[in-house]
């Protein structure tokens, strides 16, 4: 069987969202990456419990002038990776506004969220503990990565996809009956949910 998951990458411009995406989908890293204008889209297939999962990954522009385009991309999202730059404390604080936007425009209440501290190959301005505390405040998973070295990148996408896969009612197989809706206890007890 095959399933499709819609994954969104959000965060401030310059945090390395496009580099993280390229590292995951093509194992490439470019020192100089032009800012994303509007949105970029890539697909990668993975396997979870012998099921084929096609990840459709949307890389949104982090620049303010393009943010007006992003609300429509929140519809149908099952997983979101919120990326910040560990060398820039402001990029972590900026995730608050992205989370607010996500809560406003997303049409699913049990989206799986992962906060990803990128650029761990460089000197830090944000400790691992600060990133973890931020993620816990919003009941999201937390990981760190380096798009440059590839460290943590595949694991981040795979863990997010696995959590989406394990979330009742969040996705369904292609050409199959919808998965049952989660009970109230399931909706409120599990970590990795945004709200």
| Domain edges within the chain | 2-189
pLDDT of residue 195: 36
Show the beta-strand stretches assigned E in the chain.
2-10, 39-48, 51-60, 79-85, 112-118, 141-144
Topology adopted by domain 2-189: Rossmann fold (3.40.50)
Give the pLDDT confidence of 28-83 residue by residue, as tens digits: 655 545 454 456 789 999 999 999 999 999 987 654 544 555 667 788 999 999 99
Which H or E element spans position 158?
helix 153-165
Whether 28 and 22 have beta carbons less than 8 Å apart is answered as yes
Helix (H, G, I), strand (E, B) or coil at 47: strand
Report the chain (195 residues): mean pLDDT per 10 consecutive residues: 90 92 80 54 93 92 53 87 98 95 90 97 98 97 96 97 92 54 37 41
The pTM of this model reads 0.82
Parallel, antiparallel, or unpaired for β 112-118 and 51-60? unpaired
């Amino acid at each position: 069987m095959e399933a499709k998951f819609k994954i969104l990458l959000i965060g401030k411009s310059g945090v390395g969202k496009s580099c993280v995406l390229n590292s995951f989908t093509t194992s490439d890293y470019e020192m100089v990456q032009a800012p994303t204008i509007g949105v970029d889209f890539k697909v990668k297939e993975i396997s979870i419990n012998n099921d084929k999962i096609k990840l459709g990954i949307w890389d949104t522009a982090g620049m303010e002038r393009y943010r007006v385009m992003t609300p429509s991309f929140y519809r149908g999202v099952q997983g979101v990776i919120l990326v910040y730059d560990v060398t820039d404390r402001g990029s972590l604080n900026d995730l608050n506004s992205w989370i607010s936007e996500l809560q406003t425009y997303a049409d699913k209440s049990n989206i799986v969220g992962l906060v990803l501290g990128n650029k761990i190959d460089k000197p830090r301005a944000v400790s691992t503990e600060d990133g973890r505390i931020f993620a816990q405040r919003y009941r999201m998973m937390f990981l760190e990565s380096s798009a440059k070295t590839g460290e943590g990148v595949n694991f981040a996408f795979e863990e997010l996809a696995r959590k989406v896969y394990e979330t009742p009612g969040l996705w369904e197989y292609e050409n199959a009956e919808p998965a049952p809706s989660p009970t109230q206890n399931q909706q409120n007890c599990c970590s990795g949910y945004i709200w």
